[in-house]
Structures are given as structure tokens and as C-alpha cells.
Amino acid sequence: MQKSKHHLYTELLTKRIMFGDTEASAIQHELQRLEAGCAGEIKLKQTLSDYFLKRTIIFSIILNA
């Protein structure tokens, strides 16, 4: 899955920002939110592909019986 420009920008900011910076916490929270969203999308995509694969196999078995 491809990351958005906003996600890449936030990831880059997190790597370059100084630890004591006042915006560090907000940027880290934004990055965590974005990564959680990506992880959820990947999990959903995997679940749907598993579902369609299982459904195809079941229908093949039923039709060939």
C-alpha cells in the first residue's frame, strides 16, 4: 500500500525534529494516527481477499459436487 504525501511528510518531520521542540508531541501523535490508519486498511484488504478466496473455493466445491 502506498503512503500519502502527508504521511511521508509527517514521518520525515518526526525523524528530523528536535526532542525538546514544542511541536514534537503533536507530530508524533499525527504519525501514530496515520500509521494506525494504514495498518487498518492493510488488515481490511487482507481480510477481504481471504474472504473472497474462501468463497471462491466453496463455490467451486459445491458446483463440482
Alpha helix segments (H runs only) across 1-65: 5-16, 24-64
Type of residue found at 42: I
pLDDT at 1: 58
Specify the 3-state DSSP secondary structure of 18: coil
The 10s digit of each residue's pLDDT in 8-65 is: 778 887 777 766 777 777 877 888 888 888 778 888 888 888 888 777 777 777 777 6
Specify the 3-state DSSP secondary structure of 3: coil
Helix and strand totals (H; E) in the chain: 2, 0
pLDDT at 65: 61
> Domains in the chain: how many in total?
1
User: Residue 48: which domain range?
Assistant: 5-64
